Amino acid sequence: MLKEDNLTELIKEMNPVLNKHEYVFCCVDSLKNISRKHILCEFKEEEGTTIVIKREKADQYGLPYSYIASWITLKVFSSLNAVGLTAIISTALAEKRISCNIIAGYHHDHIFVDKEYGQKAIDTLIELSKNYNTN
C-alpha cells in the first residue's frame, strides 16, 4: 500500500470521519485488570500508562478520567515521514478554538477533540480539505 507524504495531497484527500462513541484518556499503573481488547491505544510514561478507551468501558472498569473526546480518523493513508500535516490540522482547529490530541497510527492519523466539538471539528477539517492552497 502506497503511503502519501505530499502535504497538499494529504490535506486534500484526508477524508475525516467521526467515529461513534465517546472516548476517554486514563492513566493506569497496571493493565492486568483491563482487557486489551477494550483499549484503543496506550502510551507508557514515567508516571503511568495512558490508555484511550471507550467511556462506557472506563466506567465499567471504574477508571478515573477528566477528558471526554470524540475520535476522528483521517482516511488518507499517510506516511509516518510526512511533514506538516499535524501542524496544519492543529492550527485549523485552534483557529476555531478546538483543542486536539493527535495520534499517528501506521496507516492513518487520529484526532481526539472534546466531545462537544466533534462535528465542528469535522466541518473545520472538511472546509480545510476543500480550500487548502499552498500559495
Burial tier of 120 (Cβ tally within 10 Å: 0-12, 13-18, 19+): middle
- Give the pLDDT band (50/70/90) at residue 133: confident
pTM: 0.92
CB-CB contact of 23 with 3 (8 Å): no
User: Which residues neighbour 58 within 8 Å (Cβ) at sequence distance 6 or greater?
Assistant: 24, 26, 65
Span 72-128, pLDDT tens digits = 999 999 988 889 999 999 999 999 999 999 999 999 999 999 999 999 999 999 999
% of the chain surpassing 70 pLDDT: 98
* Domains in the chain, CATH or no CATH each: 7-131 (3.30.2130.10)
For residue 117, the tally of other CB atoms under 10 A from its CB is 19
pLDDT value of residue 134: 62
